[in-house]
Amino acid sequence: MPVWEKTGLTLSCHPVVPEHVALPWDAADDYLLSHASTQNTLTINDRHGALSCALSNRATTVINWHDSACACEATRRNHQSNQLALDAGQLILSEEQIPASTRQVLIKLPKNLEQLKFWLQCCRERLPADTRYLLAGMVKHMPVSWLNWLEKEAATYRQEQVVRKARLLELTFTPKPVSEDHWNGYQTDSGLTLYGLPGVFSRQQHDIGSRVLLEHTDLPFCGKVCDLGCGNGLLGLTLKQAHPQLDVTLTDDSWLAVRSAQHNARQNQLDVSVRHGDILTAVHETQDWIVCNPPFHDGHKQLTNIAERMFEQSAKALVSGGHLLVIANRHLPYAGKLRRLFQTVEVLSADSRFSLYLCQKR
């Protein structure tokens, strides 16, 4: 496992990523750590728990706000491998759990501005005006428009010089009243009204790939069906609407996605089970069908390892003769992996952008 020289910590990515592709920390983590104080700290978007582990060696209380079940597991593993204590209360999933005693917030910048706005809004609703915010990211991922918005929104704003292609901002914000105005949504062709929280895939519009998959709702779906990586619940809820007899489970690594899918199931009066977990870890029942529109980004990096883990776990979770239905961007090299895992792989449709694979288990 690679060693973070600045801290002496031995850290790993979960799921495993080759070191030449990504490390569990980057120059932005170094920058945050060099400016962090020993005040009670909330870390946000600390993907593998690197900051959390480093700050555990200081006289400070560190709370880790993760949306991702996979990030929670990575944080646990890295604490354990470095013999660092991590109480259950130090991992939180939702804004309601932010401790009022927090006086310092460290944020690794996300891929989209709406998610950053959501995190800041949640913190401003719960933390006092003297709370110190440190935001860091790689310069290439920090558009000038983001910096302009932050400078306009902040009570105080200081931008440090670029170090090793990373930029750090130190800010304070005036508190804000609690707002419920975080939801965005749309109506599907079948009449479902779907909403999503910031950071949830396709929260504002019906994405093109899912639309291709849902042109095939007349396939012989039966028994237990799982929407893997459900996002706002579009695939699973549409199948439940079309085939009420199905026993449908939706699962996602993102807690915001799970909250969104739960909300949409209630609003559309569809009886499904929605679960939070890394790939299929929260789904213990064998499935007759699994439908999937897998992600191919982890933060700013384009990777296929998440989708490949989805395919591997699906092959194990399906009954004999069960089916996996996958929609994917055509340029992604999934066909070979699927053919190694499944007895038959049929391309149901293909165009210049997407391929739809129907895979049957041996």
In a domain, 177, yes or no: no
Q: What is the pLDDT of residue 22?
A: 82
In a domain, 179, yes or no: no
Phi, psi of 61 (to 5 degrees): -90, 125
3-state secondary structure at position 75: helix
In a domain, 306, yes or no: yes
DSSP code of residue 163: B
3-state secondary structure at position 261: helix
Give the span between the Cα atoms of 94 and 81, in whole angstroms: 26
One domain for residues 318 and 189: yes
One domain for residues 139 and 193: no
Of 148, 172, 196, which residue constitutes the final position of a domain?
172
Chain length of the chain: 362
Cis peptide before 15 (omega within 30 of 0): yes
Give the span between the Cα atoms of 46 and 51, in whole angstroms: 6
Of 172, 206, 224, which residue constitutes the final position of a domain?
172
- Is the confidence at residue 192, as pLDDT, over 90? yes
266 forms bridges with which residues in the sheet? none
- Pair of tokens at residue 164: 């090793």
Give the span between the Cα atoms of 355 and 347, in whole angstroms: 7
In a domain, 178, yes or no: no
The structure's pTM equals 0.94
| pLDDT tens track for 60-119 | 799 999 999 999 999 999 999 999 999 989 999 999 999 999 999 999 999 999 999 999
Angle among Cα 335, 338, 343 to the nearest 5 degrees reads: 120
3-state secondary structure at position 87: coil
Residue 297 maps to which CATH number? 3.40.50.150
SS (H, E, C) 300-350: CEECCHHHHHHHHHHHHHEEEEEEEEEEEECCCCCHHHHHHHCCEEEEEEE
One domain for residues 117 and 206: no
- Is the confidence at residue 126, as pLDDT, over 60? yes
Burial of 349 (0-12, 13-18, 19+ CB in 10 A): middle
In a domain, 332, yes or no: yes
| pLDDT tens track for 269-301 | 999 999 999 999 999 999 999 999 998 655 556
One domain for residues 154 and 197: no
- Pair of tokens at residue 245: 């007899």
Give the span between the Cα atoms of 278 and 251, in whole angstroms: 9
Q: What is the pLDDT of residue 201?
A: 87
289 forms bridges with which residues in the sheet? 225, 323
Higher pLDDT, 180 or 234: 234
| Domain encompassing residue 221 | 184-360
Q: What is the pLDDT of residue 316?
A: 97
In a domain, 92, yes or no: yes
- Pair of tokens at residue 342: 């499944």
One domain for residues 23 and 150: yes
In a domain, 214, yes or no: yes
One domain for residues 295 and 326: yes
Closest Cα to residue 272, out of 310, 234, 320, 218? 234
Residues 264/256, Cβ–Cβ less than 8 Å: no
Give the span between the Cα atoms of 303 and 296, in whole angstroms: 5
Residues 40/61, Cβ–Cβ less than 8 Å: yes
Could you tell me the CA-to-CA distances from 262 to 98, 119, 147, 256 in Å, in that order?
22, 21, 34, 10
Residue type, 342: F
One domain for residues 165 and 209: no
| pLDDT tens track for 294-339 | 986 555 566 678 999 999 999 999 999 999 999 998 888 899 999 9
Instruction: State how many domains the chain has.
Output: 2
One domain for residues 36 and 144: yes
